[in-house]
Amino acid sequence: MIPELTIINKLPPKLRKVRLGTVYQENMMSEAASKPFLGFGQMLLFATTTGILAGNLYYIQPLLGLLASEFGYKITDIGYLTTCTQIGYAIGILFLVPLGDVLNRRNLLTCVMGANVCGLLVAALAPNYAVFAEQQQIS
């Protein structure tokens, strides 16, 4: 038997979660198998929320013709709004996701959602194309 394993087995259960090779992983897997991490309702809520947030990248596409007439631009120029949305998403992945490892995730999520709400309000009140396009990168 591995010496580290016999030492860990002699420890109280709470102290066994010390990481020594794969022992930590085995303990965590046995605990995870004994109780579900998320209930069905929570899983359904998270799946729905994820779908809606991912769809946020594409909600602008059916509105491109309406926006072109509203702002007085050609449809090909307005098509860049979809690109702005994708660029904003990529910037978020590059800079905001790593902050989740450093900052409190609840506070980070609150700030990101607050910025998204502010961006959507700016979009609703956007006086011109430039302001609207900039907002697309934010939200």
> For 57-73, how does the pLDDT look when each residue is reduced to its tens digit (9 = 90+)?
888 889 899 989 988 88
- 13 is in which domain, residue-wise? 3-34
Same domain? 44 vs 30 = no
Same domain? 22 vs 55 = no
Weakest-pLDDT range from 3-17, 21-35, 36-50: 21-35
**110 touches 100 (CB < 8 A):** no
Same domain? 17 vs 44 = no
| Of 86, 89, 66, 87, nearest in space to 78 by CA | 66
Question: Any idea what DSSP says for residue 17?
Answer: G
Same domain? 44 vs 88 = yes
Same domain? 30 vs 51 = no
Decide which of 12 and 42 is more confident.
42
Task: Say what the pTM is.
Answer: 0.57
Same domain? 49 vs 107 = yes
- At residue 89 the predicted structure's pLDDT band, cuts being 50, 70 and 90, is confident
- What's the CA gap between 66 and 60, in Å, rounded? 10
pLDDT digits (tens, 9 = 90+) for 3-26: 555 555 666 665 555 555 554 555
Same domain? 49 vs 26 = no
Same domain? 112 vs 131 = yes
